[in-house]
Amino acid sequence: MSEHARLPEGWTAFSSQADSTHTTHWYATSPYPVEALKANNGEAAEPLCHTVTAATWAELHAEVTAQIELYEVLTGEEDG
């Protein structure tokens, strides 16, 4: 992962291993209390995920960025 740009602080990334039937996928776990945010914000928070997934590192960054943007809208905070 060192050849890739880091995810924002608090996010943890990992990848699956490719095999004969599956390609490598990237995953990132959220630092946010997703269930609490969903309970407090209802339908607006439904797109928040504990874990996002993508086929490439660049796509993973886009997914994480979308999660951060939604978090900021829901909380009125910037993620730093």
C-alpha 67: how far from its chain's center?
Answer: 6
- Give the DSSP per-residue string, 34-46: HHHHHHHHGGGGT
pLDDT digits (tens, 9 = 90+) for 20-60: 887 889 999 999 999 999 999 999 999 999 999 999 999 99
- Whether pLDDT at 1 is above 90: no
How high is the pLDDT of residue 4? 65
Model pTM score: 0.83
